[in-house]
Structure 1
Amino acid sequence: MTPKTIVVLLKGYPRLSETFIAQELLGLERAGFRLELVSMRRPTDKKRHPVHDEIKAPVHYLPEYLHEEPMRVLKALFKVAAKPGFRQAAKAFFRDLTRDFSRNRFRRFGQAAVLAAEWPSQAAWLHVHFIHTPASVGRYASLIGRIPWSVSAHAKDIWTSKAWDLKDKLAAARWTVTCTRAGFDRLNELAERPNVHLSYHGLDLNRFPHFDALRPPRDGSNPADPVRILSVGRAVKKKGYDVLLEALAKLPAGLAWSFTHIGGGDELAGLKAQAQNLGIAERITWKGALDQREILLAYRNSDVFALACRITADGDRDGLPNVLVEASSQALPIISTEISGIAELFKTEENGLLVASEDVGALAAALERMIREPALRQRLGKTAEERVRRDFDYHSSIGDLKRLFSAGGADVVPGSGDLRQ
């Protein structure tokens, strides 16, 4: 039976970097679901995407830190202590605490108590985005209120979580959905039953219509009209921007190119200093965070999209960055690395150029080739756009979720796996 009202638990909302979540929320509303959004953190971005304003669901905020709203937390604990599932939730919490004794663990239980105490009476299901800390809150709240729940796992949350933590959550959730084959394989190895499903994030192609104009055949020979290289992403370690800057600095001195970065992030100051030290700062424009309409214009005004994703020391990595799908929808040719879900969409020489992560020389060679060969850019961009428009329409991913919610706790696909097979 399809739940009419779903509570969706989010780590933070709204976030500019999580357009794929916002698009999913809007898609579920359009599919007939009533949503109540609950966020563990208040927004910090100064801008919003248009999609955020189209979502009708009310947004509620849990105490981000328990000491900020002590009476709300105490009132919630007093209320849920009488619920039949509280003892089971407390037992799970103390078991987790022996393996992860941290303030963060206490905070998650307190947030779960508030969620369970303030649970909307009309809601019948809890869906959680991210299988790390949000799923801890979701699991405890589910136990307290005896609420069925499910979880969407993405990238960092899969690869930086302990195996025991993932196993417990996979066992407790009715089902789990993830957005790359690499993530699916990791979770499926740990799952005790076939309740993990693969469904790639789709793109609302109405927001990213086909770009009819022909890009100029720039080839790096005219300093007055350089080849325009673009990257969109937060300036964080896993995006590999330090590697990308090193590769740009290795390009031949006489080659005409410019680089534009869109996005915020803690490493921006360090990257700007690195660009100065490398002697390429005058070729770089740092735009900061922009909304989706501004980013679409940037895709259309650029010649190449580059993203040097990596796996960090703690295991953090991207899945399939949404910006690669967006850029491809505009026939903008892609240079990236072979990690995670990136290689599930892009094949070198077929619809992009992929290099090994951390390989500055290979990345520089790919950049030089794309700069010098406008025909290559056109061919790869066209093929990538065809793949995205065929296989990455968000209506498919919403259909996957609708089937999962409709089936509830049932195994939706025999043997689980890719919902699109």
Structure 2
Amino acid sequence: MNGKAPKLAVLVKGWPRLSETFIAQELVALEEAGHRFDIWSLRHPTDTKRHPLHDRLRARVHYLPEYLYEEPGRVWRARAAAQRLPGYARAYEVWRADLRRDRTPNRIRRFGQACVLAAELPAETRALYAHFMHTPSSVARYTAIMRGLPWSFSAHAKDIWTSPEWEKREKLQAATHGAVFGATCTGIGARHLRELADDPARIDLIYHGLDLSRFPLPPERAPRAPQDPFHMLSVGRLVEKKGFDRLIEAFSRLPSGLDWRWTHIGGGGLRDRLQAQAEAAGVADRITWRGACDQPEVIAEMRQADLFVLPSRIASDGDRDGLPNVLMEAASQLLPILATPVSAIPEFVEHGRHGTLCDDAPDALARAIASIARDPGGAASMAQAARSRLVSEFRMAPGIARLSGRLHDLCCG
């Protein structure tokens, strides 16, 4: 890379994050497509591990003040510099209107971070692109107004379904300094955002897809021996929308004659509660909690498992999954899938063809697990069909080509 500052600034909530491989995959692919950008992260990393994918990214990473009080000198210098920008007064007016409807410290922090970003962006910057429609997009929007730049976003799941409608609508209207375009990774999300936009063409459906060069076919799976336990695997954060509490309850209802094991990969705030639930249900000795793992460790576990289980549901605050990349990763390894028909999951997994979709009630999950364990041949056939669909319809390259074109136009238009 040469010494010239890039024209594009990419905003992310935190960098790097083990749970957001889809972002790392996309940014590495954009670099390989010829894009040059800096990353501006709203938070510092908390994961102790990194995926190999993170090390492939060449972009320079900058960290905005995670909390404004931690860097007061930087914030106040930036505010003074931002106030001299032609668009500052309008950005302040927009932010004050937002603050009246969202009187939270987070809203104040967004504007402070935007001031720092507006003051520190290189003069060569021509556009901003934010991952997630909520906090990062707010920072991008305020910054773009201050600097007189176009901006865009990629929306995923929680940011769509838990953001207030007024805020989503205003980020999708030209009259209110909305994004030039928004990409989203599910058909259900695209339909929702198009209903809120002044022009439905502002929203692109761009599936993340999977870079199959990172997920080669596994060695041929040997049939499970009758004496071997039925090994299940889940990968996902320990949060309400993933439904692991109901899965643990389902384990306690499995037939006594089924010898099973479950491995969980991922962090999250509910770990202590779920471990206590497993102890109370009498199934803790069959469960392995791996915590956060890097991509090679995940692939290795997928190759050892007999079933991938993701019992997603809609959380009490409306949060839900989009189309979890881990389902495509499981399909790449010919690992049979059991999931729930929530959000965009049926856009990839058709029940009875590419995997099993069932209700997230513990009894329903227990019946589905027992049925799959009894029919390994049927499960293997569906796993093969899921991989075939992945290869034919959910490769990464088409989406990257579409997004690359959009970003090129944004920076050079």
Provide TM-score, normalisation by structure 2: 0.96
SS state of the match for residue 150, structure 1?
strand
One-letter identity of the residue aligned with 1:56: R
1:32 paired with 2:34, answer yes
Report how far residue 82 of structure 1 moved: 1.0
Tell me the distance in 1 between the aligned counterparts of 2:120 and 2:394: 37
* TM-aligned CA deviation for residue 155 of structure 1: 0.1
SS of residue paired to 1:408: helix
CA distance in 2, matches of 1:410, 1:244: 49
* Residue 264 (structure 2) pairs with residue 261 (structure 1): yes
Contact preservation (8 Å) 2:68, 2:75 = yes
Q: Tell me which of 193, 198, 202 is aligned to 2:205.
A: 198
Q: Is the 8 A contact 1:109 1:140 kept in 2?
A: yes
Distance in 1, Cα, partners of 2:10 & 2:412:
20
Following superposition, the deviation at residue 4 of structure 1 comes to 6.0
Q: Which amino acid aligns with 1:246?
A: E
How much is the aligned-residue C-alpha RMSD, in angstroms?
A: 1.5
- Measured against aligned partners, the alpha-carbon deviations of 1:230-283 in whole angstroms (never above 9, x if no partner) come to 001111111000011111111011111111001111111111111111111111
- Measure how far apart 1:121 and its partner are: 2.3
Which residue in the other structure is 1:245 paired with?
Answer: 248
Indicate the SS of the match to 2:383: helix
Tell me, yes or no, if the aligned pair for 1:235 and 1:266 is still in contact at 8 Å.
yes
CA contact (8 A) 2:24 2:54 kept: yes
Number of residue pairs matched by the alignment? 404
Check whether the contact 2:40–2:63 (CA below 8 A) recurs between aligned residues: yes
1:341-373 CA-to-partner distances (Å, cap 9, x unmatched) read 1011001110100012x3221111110111111
Give the CA deviation at 1:406: 2.9
The 1:122–1:239 alpha-carbon spacing in structure 2 relative to 1, beyond 3 Å, is same
Q: Out of 195, 211, 215, which is 2:218 matched to?
A: 211
Map residues 149-298 of structure 1 onto 2, 5 A cutoff.
149-171=151-173, 172-194=178-200, 195-218=202-225, 221-222=226-227, 225-298=228-301
Unmatched 5+ stretches in structure 1: 412-421
CA distance in 2, matches of 1:366, 1:231: 15
Residue type at the aligned position of 1:301: Q
Q: CA deviation at 1:123?
A: 2.0
Does structure 2 conserve the Cα–Cα contact (< 8 Å) formed by 1:338 and 1:354? yes
Post-superposition shift, 1:92? 0.1
Q: Deviations over 1:140-186 (max 9, x none)?
A: 00000011110000000000000000011112100000000111111
Give 2:139's match in structure 1, choosing from 137, 140, 151: 137
- Out of 55, 65, 68, the residue aligned to residue 66 of structure 1 is 68
Is the Cα–Cα contact under 8 Å of residues 174 and 409 in structure 1 kept in the other structure? no
Which stretch of structure 1 is more off in the superposition, 402-411 or 167-176?
Answer: 402-411
Amino acid at match of 1:37: I
- In structure 1, what is the Cα distance between the partners aligned to 2:132 and 2:275? 31
Q: Which runs of 5+ in 2 are unaligned?
A: none
Residue 317 in structure 1 maps to residue 324 in structure 2: no
Looking at structure 1, the residues matched to 207 and 68 of structure 2 have their Cα atoms a distance apart, in angstroms, of: 35
* Alpha-carbon distance between aligned partners in 1 of 2:43 and 2:412, rounded to the nearest angstrom: 32
> What is the TM-score of this pair, normalised by structure 1?
0.94
What is the one-letter code of the residue matched to 2:283? I
Q: Describe how 1:112-123 pairs up with structure 2 within 5 A.
A: 112-123=114-125
Question: In the alignment, residue 339 of structure 1 is paired with which amino acid?
Answer: V
Code of the aligned partner of 1:328:
A
Q: Distance in 1 between matches of 2:224 and 2:67?
A: 54
SS in 2 for 1:40: strand
Please report how far the alpha carbon of residue 407 of structure 1 lies from its aligned counterpart in structure 2 after TM superposition.
3.2
Partner Cα distance (1:10, 1:378) in 2: 38
Cα distance in 2 for residues equivalent to 1:232 and 1:215? 23
